[in-house]
Amino acid sequence: MSAFLEGKGRSVLILGATSSVARALAAEFAACGYELFLAARPGEDLDAVAADVALRKRARVHACPLDALDFDSHDAFWNGIVERVGESLAGVVLCFGYLGDQAKGQQDPDEARRIVDTNFTAAVSLLNRAANYLEPRKRGFVCALSSVAGDRGRQSNYLYGAAKAGLSAYLQGLRNRLFKAGVKVTTIKPGFMDTRMTFGKPGLFLVAAPEKAARQVFRALAAGKDVAYVPGFWWPIMSVIRCVPEFVFKRLKL
């Protein structure tokens, strides 16, 4: 754990860096001395986040424009990151996601595709590149924010949940692949968080603050965990939900 907390001379790439959790997580890494490469859609939000972390934490922070849904740009983006970080890259954290509109997605193929592509396909495309970079170097970590929504399909958000379930399975396989190379893969399963993505959504409960969630994510990485529920009380909750028989579960309004 102590080696992870000493970030001097090392860098971290955060994908989806303008989300509330990613901002707070960037501050955690910066406080330990990591150089940060913050990737998100180009614009004022990305520049403001990078400037804010650099100023408050006196850290070296770089804004890296990225449109995760522009798949043709992924090669150029990744090659540009590698060229800038050299051999200092300690790990990659993926924080982007799109909750979307379940009802709209049931009728609109474009909305359904956006939900799946953002939460799964784009994540896989970028993390494959990270894995291929870290594996031959036999060091580093990959971390991605999945969701408790992927533990059980619910009628209210099964498009989002299906994409996150796919991401969790992908990370599990990646962890199996990279274990012998000494590359750590951590799956984070957050519950409801107070973010722009969830603002105004009905039916939310046990909503966590992004700053608290970020600290728990950072501690999970420092401890070398494979899977972590954030906040931790979601583990027993989801354990119970996963055990509900399907003939009962399908009758529930969730």
> Which of 121, 165, 126 lies closest to 143, judged by CA?
126
User: Which residues, 6 or more positions from 129, have their beta carbon under 8 angstroms from its beta carbon?
Assistant: 74, 75, 78
> Which of 222, 212, 174 lies closest to 190, judged by CA?
212
> Which of 105, 93, 99 lies closest to 134, judged by CA?
93
Q: How many CB atoms lie within 10 A of CB 217?
A: 25
Contact 91, 178 (CB under 8 A): no
Rounded CA-CA distance 249/63 in Å is 45
Contact 60, 71 (CB under 8 A): no
Rounded CA-CA distance 149/206 in Å is 14
Tokens of 144: 């991605």
Let me know if 160 is a catalytic residue: yes
List residues bridging with 228 in a β-sheet.
188
Q: Among the options 98, 133, 160, 170, which is catalytic?
A: 160
Contact 192, 151 (CB under 8 A): no
Residue numbers annotated as active site: 160
